[in-house]
Structure 1
Amino acid sequence: MLCRSYFRTVILRAGHICKNAERSAVQFAVSKRSLKIVPAVRLSVNQKGTAGKTMAATDGSSNRGLITITSLEKKDGGSCASGGWKSEDGKLSCGFSSFRGKRATMEDFFDIKTCKIDGQTVCLFGIFDGHGGSRAAEYLKQNLFNKLMDHPEFMTDTKKAISETYRQTDSDFLESEKDNSGDDGSTASTAVLVGNHLYVANVGDSRTVISKAGKAIALSEDHKPNRTDERKRIESAGGVVMWAGTWRVGGVLAMSRAFGNRMLKQFVVAEPDIQEQELSEEFELLVLASDGLWDVVSNDDVISIAQAELEPEAAANKLIETAFGCGSADNITCIVVKLCPNSPTESKLPSVTETETETRNQIETEIEAKRQAATETEIETHPQTETETKSDVPTGNVAETKDETQSNSEDK
């Protein structure tokens, strides 16, 4: 029979966890406010946490006037970064935010590029979520879009160029890693905008969603091993899909397609699913993000939250904050692209103030419900010592133990 002092200890501990979660959300908001939009042409982001400099530069290897918009100097000890960009004509703007969260290391990378080719404006957006290490995701950030634009049929047959470039980049990465003992892998969710024609390609479980007249439309489908078509493909190649906490290829990898992952390459391919979309004024927002966002926030909620913000950078920051507050324990990175600033559908929406208030109240209610549920679970199921207590609610610690980090990487 448990004594009263035990219950008192557990209840106090649960209350302490909730307070830490609230304090973490406040700290995140403070660090977020300290990030300033830099009106530079190129925003230099150092994804490894060392100080990066903001500079303007173009790609001298071609006459395309390539501009890279990839990040700001990191703040808050290198755990988060955000920034924004707007085209010269004001017809396109984007914001990005990247947060290490509860992970001890950052394995998310992203890339944003824009240029003119044959008189056409070309914009490229990409999210790369590494697992087992960061090398594969970093390699994609540094090479994928450059290789794509160098493809001889990039402008004439963009879909073919994307498919071939994905496969070749995977092969090139594996070749570059042949002397390394690790087995890094990465997702890739990319959006290529050529004029008004959008190509969305996906490998893995990062995701791209677009809003049309206020409604969320998924432009990619997560590559999970238990998907009927993916399971059939894997088993036809001699592989096996089994349950190990979640569905995994060979009981190891929780996604069925990825770059890298040499040991599973026969089954885990880097062949992208590609969707095409001709854009009109009905399309308002494009959101690309790693699964640190999608695991805890639905497609519809992501679009609603993003639409409640005037600027895409503010929307990206709000999505990161929401995912963290809802219990995401993963790295979280997202890019929000505002497609039609003067879309007629905007006038049909409630005012920004009303929408913001309604959305944020709803989010706060949901987060509070999650915290209360976590507290109840804490009282019912945690071990008898306070030092063993652990909660799914974020406590604001950006550094986890080595064992937790290894476990997190293996879960991908």
Structure 2
Amino acid sequence: ISCGAPQNSSPMACDAEISDFLNTFLQDFPAPLNPESPLPWRFSGATLSREELEGELAELAMGFLSSRNAPLPLAAALTHEAISQMLQADLSEFRKLPKQEEEEGKDNEEMEATGTSEISLSLADTTEVARSFFNQLWKVSSQWQKQVPVTARTPQKEWVVSIHAIRNARRRMEDRHVFLPAFNLLFGLSDSVDRAYFAVFDGHGGVDAARYAAVHVHVNAARQPKLLTDPAEALKEAFQHTDEMFLWKAKRERLQSGTTGVCALIAGTNLHVAWLGDSQVFLVQQGQLIKLMEPHRPDQPEEWERIQRLGGFVTFLDCWRVNAALAVSRAIGDIFQKPYVSGDADSTSRELTGSEDYLLLACDGFFDFVHLDEIASLVHSHLVKQEGDGAHVAEELVAVARDRGSSDNITVMVVFLRDPRELLESGVQGPGNSQADVRSQDLSAGLSNPQTDTPQRN
């Protein structure tokens, strides 16, 4: 898909859109669901832990409301309120039966023996959890039909974001991505700092880990106490905690998949980035590509040494691999390659000055086939052809990688930090510039020189 945020909105237009949606929604669902009613949307799995509940409910509600074209700020605010009320309720009725809990306890003992933390209170019958939640969503919608809170009616910062993802020649699509401009509304953050979250996850060995990361990393970040004081560290800890949660799920459900990932949180005038593995994010400022990170690969000296210290090895089998198996050295999941494949993310921050053009997040299916020096020229050429419309630039970038031989899943996300029409009018990276003029440069602050030092790692 390719998508872009709307260009025009006003308080009156927002109020009318919200009112129309709530009226239509409650006409279609005039009463709570009864025990025989079919569910309008379902969880993807059969069991949940208490700690997974918030992320899975948010995914359930946002997917359902988006399918009904709910205004994004309203969808996020409704979801937050319904989840808050659900989590305050007595959840004991959804617990597993005693026999199932006993079996769960055995699994927990095994997990403790392998050094994986226990996540308590497993839930059964996700159908009934979903039914109860939809009734909570109906209740909140009914209340808001009479009086919508001011926060849900306040126009939000608009973003122009182009996203395109393809399965390509692979048998399955194992990539996932997240575009969450209403971060504050979804998590009930009421301070004056605007926040937006963007992420790309590149799964391997199945889609379970990538989907899990796409559902839980931002939720875990929002719940980190450091989010307000040290957002980069909060993102880093969110990756690690999501890895711990998924390992418990993988043990319980016999899953073997893993995922690399990169996420960016724009909080006010600051950009915070965290990553595991070889999915990457770059910043383009006035036509120049700025390196924000060093991807984790097995052949990097530091990664090689870390793996060997733990008793593993790195060897070349068509590419450098950990224990002759995985071509990534850090990832969420990969339960049988822990601790050699680490869940310890890196992070960095950078202040935004207002002169930045856009962020580009993508998986290795893109970066392995498109040279960094080409990116700004390719984006500029697209804007010229489309007369400043950036909605489909990600689609063109994906096509370039595919046409050059990439057979992998490919996901590209371009987050414009300035109006793409303004970029075109300003002549940044104009037709007269050659590819050689687009220089990749390390950050002077926030990221150390990879030749002499390493990024922040605590």
TM-score, scaled relative to structure 1: 0.65
Contact 1:312/1:337, CA 8 A, preserved across alignment: no
After the TM superposition, which residues 274-293 of structure 1 pair with which residues of structure 2 at under 5 Å, given as runs?
A: 274-293=347-366
After the TM superposition, which residues 9-408 of structure 1 pair with which residues of structure 2 at under 5 Å, given as runs?
A: 53=67, 55-56=69-70, 57-60=75-78, 62=80, 92-115=159-182, 116=184, 117=189, 118-308=191-381, 309=383, 310-341=388-419, 347-349=425-427
Q: Deviations over 1:50-86 (max 9, x none)?
A: 9993532215464699xxxxxxxxxxxxxxxxxxxxx
Q: Which runs of no fewer than 5 residues in structure 1 stay unpaired? A: 1-31, 66-86, 360-412
Question: RMSD between aligned alpha carbons?
Answer: 3.5
State the alpha-carbon separation in 1 of the partners of residues 390 and 421 from structure 2. 15
Q: Deviations over 1:130-186 (max 9, x none)?
A: 000000000011111112112222112212211221111100011112133331000
Q: CA deviation at 1:36?
A: 7.5
Contact 1:95/1:335, CA 8 A, preserved across alignment: yes
Larger Rg: 2
Partner SS for 1:179? helix
Partner SS for 1:216? strand
State the alpha-carbon separation in 2 of the partners of residues 36 and 285 from structure 1. 15
Contact 1:137/1:185, CA 8 A, preserved across alignment: yes
CA gap 1:264/1:273 in 2 versus in 1, 3 angstroms: same
Q: CA deviation at 1:233?
A: 1.1
Structure with the larger helix share: 2
Q: Deviations over 1:295-321 (max 9, x none)?
A: 100122122212332333211111111
The alignment of Structure 1 onto Structure 2 pairs a total of residues equal to: 300
Q: CA deviation at 1:351?
A: 9.0
State the alpha-carbon separation in 1 of the partners of residues 323 and 3 from structure 2. 45
Say which is worse superposed, 288-297 or 302-311, in terms of deviation: 302-311
Contact 1:282/1:343, CA 8 A, preserved across alignment: no
Contact 2:275/2:345, CA 8 A, preserved across alignment: yes
Whichever residue aligns with residue 332 of structure 1, its letter is I
Say which is worse superposed, 193-202 or 339-348, in terms of deviation: 339-348
CA gap 1:135/1:233 in 2 versus in 1, 3 angstroms: same
Q: Which runs of no fewer than 5 residues in structure 2 stay unpaired? A: 7-16, 22-41, 45-62, 84-153, 436-458
Partner SS for 2:252? coil
TM-score, scaled relative to structure 2: 0.59
Whichever residue aligns with residue 405 of structure 2, its letter is G
State the alpha-carbon separation in 1 of the partners of residues 272 and 5 from structure 2. 28
Contact 1:97/1:313, CA 8 A, preserved across alignment: no
Q: CA deviation at 1:88?
A: 5.4
State the alpha-carbon separation in 1 of the partners of residues 166 and 198 from structure 2. 18
State the alpha-carbon separation in 1 of the partners of residues 334 and 429 from structure 2. 47
Q: CA deviation at 1:274?
A: 1.0
State the alpha-carbon separation in 2 of the partners of residues 109 and 144 from structure 1. 12
CA gap 1:282/1:240 in 2 versus in 1, 3 angstroms: same
Q: Deviations over 1:192-248 (max 9, x none)?
A: 100010011110111101112211122122211000111111111111011111110
Partner SS for 2:203? strand
Whichever residue aligns with residue 145 of structure 1, its letter is H
Q: CA deviation at 1:280?
A: 1.2
Whichever residue aligns with residue 325 of structure 2, its letter is V
State the alpha-carbon separation in 1 of the partners of residues 326 and 429 from structure 2. 45
CA gap 1:213/1:182 in 2 versus in 1, 3 angstroms: same
CA gap 1:147/1:340 in 2 versus in 1, 3 angstroms: same
Contact 2:307/2:340, CA 8 A, preserved across alignment: yes
Contact 1:131/1:185, CA 8 A, preserved across alignment: yes
State the alpha-carbon separation in 2 of the partners of residues 201 and 351 from structure 1. 28
Contact 1:257/1:268, CA 8 A, preserved across alignment: yes
State the alpha-carbon separation in 2 of the partners of residues 344 and 36 from structure 1. 19
Whichever residue aligns with residue 333 of structure 1, its letter is T
Whichever residue aligns with residue 316 of structure 1, its letter is A
